[in-house]
Structure 1
Amino acid sequence: MKERPILMSAPMVLATLREIDPKLQTRRVVKMNSHHQIEQRDDGTNWPWMYDGDRDADSWMTCPYGQPGDLLWVRETFFAWGRWETRFSAKKGRDEWHFIDMTMESGMAYLYAASGEQPQPMGGKRHLGGVTPKWWKRPAIHMPRVASRITLEVTGVRVERLQDISEADALAEGVRLLGSGQMWTAGGVYDAHFTIPSLSAHSAGCGRASTVPAHGMQTPGSGRSSSNDWSSHEPPAQVTSVCHHDPRRDACQSDRTLATAKAHA
């Protein structure tokens, strides 16, 4: 079992955390090079495949989001308590700003932008008083593992065209139906394409977690067949890989009041 980070926007985070009709799938772009094409495996599912003429060898693409049983910890925009300092970069030949995260050592708890939290005092410009410890809004890409409040277990992976999404999958993505029956999304649920069917929410330090049956395709297997209607010349954005998860859980906190998520049995 491996752990990997995965970025989520605020609407994705809120859709994942909500109790009613939570987000159960996520789609990410399959990044293929000019040598990749979509082929059919022995089990009848489609997957990116590549033939290397120089080595006279072929191979199936490895999913960057793992395989069933692996964990994905969510990175989101957050607030950390700390200060800034400059360090000389020999590579760039100049000083660079570095953030010193003091949240844990100060007995503070990480806070999250998606939850609408606005801690005070807030830092502004790092070069204007940044050396004094304050709350700083930090980009999701810089979130450390200890600050993550959502951990998802991958229970299945499949590859599909983005346009082939079904109504059921759209709802599993976190989209909600309006009263008129039209679908509605809170700006950000549809910014993905790598379909990882089936994730289940885990608790970080809560000791409880549950899984759900895998949906769709699993991890790459052996064998391929060229008898499919996928064009090798289509842009990668047309292909998706899907993640599913079951994030029905309670909000909980650890000793250091780090917010986490846990699934109901």
Structure 2
Amino acid sequence: MIKERPILFSAPMVRAILEGRKTVTRRPVKVQPFDLSWSRHDHRIEYTAGRAENGDEIDGFHAYSTRSGGEWSAKCPYGQPGDRLWVRETWAQPANLDPSPTVYRATYPECIKGQGWENLIPSGAIRWKPSIHMFRRDSRILLEITDVRVERLQDGEGETASESRYIAEGIHRIHHGDGDYYFHPFKDEPGPGNWCDPFDAWRELWVSINGADSWNSNPWVWVVEFKQVTP
């Protein structure tokens, strides 16, 4: 039996998933390793997972490390490869229509075009519901986990633009002419504020969601890679 769990995404990240730009998400490990000064190599992080013969999860997916200074382990709350994540996003079901359609803020009004509701659901009349309150039946995006690992938030600093691991976070790659590309987490057009390094665009994205203190602490994060599957 395939295990499913909910996961929250902001509107820009929902659009990035739907457009195929986002195939990975990074989330802080709840219980950080006991010594954040250790390098990745010092930690020698390994992984263990378990499934029964029928495919049922036994005890989830764990990352762990042992060293003379102590032991650390954490269970991934998002699952393991093969599990699925259904996306919670900001949504609404206008009560003035029967049956009431599900409307998604990330792609409004595109999500209602062709359904005869364009003139019946003006944006000002919609009472948007927080993503945390979305039910499974109303989710339109289903993701299958393809890989899980743990790394420091800023491990990819110094990678070239072409090899940067953060492009897969949904960062826009923007052509500025003469073969030059810049990057931004939210904008897709040339202009001031675009970054020449994907790492800087990634930093802006992370800080917008988690705050500057979280960035500066350079926490260990779960790296969850995924692909879209049919709901």
Identify the TM-score tier after normalising by the shorter chain.
0.5 to 0.7
Partner of 2:198: none
Deviates more, 1:112-121 or 1:71-80: 112-121
Runs (4+) of structure 1 exceeding 6 A deviation are none
AA of the residue aligned to 1:158: R
- Show the counterpart of 2:128: 137
Asked if the contact 1:3/1:72 (under 8 Å) is kept, the reply is yes
Q: Structure 1 residue 40 and structure 2 residue 35: aligned?
A: no
Q: Counterpart amino acid of 1:150? A: I
- Separation of aligned partners in 1, 2:86 and 2:217: 25
Counterpart selection for 1:191 from 191, 206, 230? 206
Matching of residue 155 in structure 1 with residue 146 in structure 2: yes
The offset of 1:181, in angstroms, is: 2.4
1:35–1:238 Cα change, 3 Å: closer
**TM-score normalised per structure 2:** 0.59
Q: Determine if contact 2:11/2:106 at 8 Å carries over to the other structure.
A: yes
Query: Residues of 1 paired with 2:46 and 2:27: CA distance?
Result: 24
Listed one character per residue, the Cα deviations across residues 1-43 of structure 1 (whole Å, up to 9, x for unaligned) are: 321111101110001001xx52111111112257587732457
2:78 aligned counterpart, secondary structure: coil
| % same residue | 36
Question: 1:6 and 1:110, CA in 2 relative to 1: closer, same or farther beyond 3 A?
Answer: same
Give the aligned length: 170
1:75-86 → structure 2 map (5 Å cutoff):
75-82=88-95
- Does the 8 Å contact 1:162/1:238 carry over to 2? yes
Gaps of 5+ in 1: 52-56, 84-102, 125-133, 193-234, 248-260
Q: Does 1:5 align with 2:6?
A: yes
Does the Cα contact within 8 Å between 1:23 and 1:174 map onto a contact in 2?
yes
Distance 1:137 1:69, change over 3 A: same
Q: If the length of structure 1 is used for normalisation, what is the TM-score?
A: 0.53
Q: Among residues 37, 57, 71, which one is paired with 2:84 in the alignment?
A: 71
1:238 to 187, 203, 219: 219
Give the superposition deviation at 1:60.
Answer: 2.3
**Structure-1 separation of matches of 2:33 and 2:226:** 32
- Give, in whole Å, the separation in 2 of the partners of 1:69 and 1:109: 31
Give the root-mean-square deviation of aligned CA atoms.
3.8
Q: Is the 8 A contact 1:40 1:47 kept in 2?
A: no
Query: Aligned partner of 1:142: which letter?
Result: H
Structure with more relative contact order (C-alpha pairs < 8 Å, separation 6 or more): 1
Q: Which amino acid aligns with 1:262?
A: T
Query: 1:71–1:151: 8 Å Cα contact kept in structure 2?
Result: yes
Match in the other structure for 1:110 = 102
Identify unmatched segments of 5+ residues in structure 2. Answer: 48-61, 188-200, 208-215
Say whether the 8 Å CA contact 2:10–2:89 is kept in structure 1.
Answer: yes
Once residues 166 and 123 of structure 2 are traced to their aligned partners in structure 1, the CA distance between those partners, rounded to angstroms, is: 39
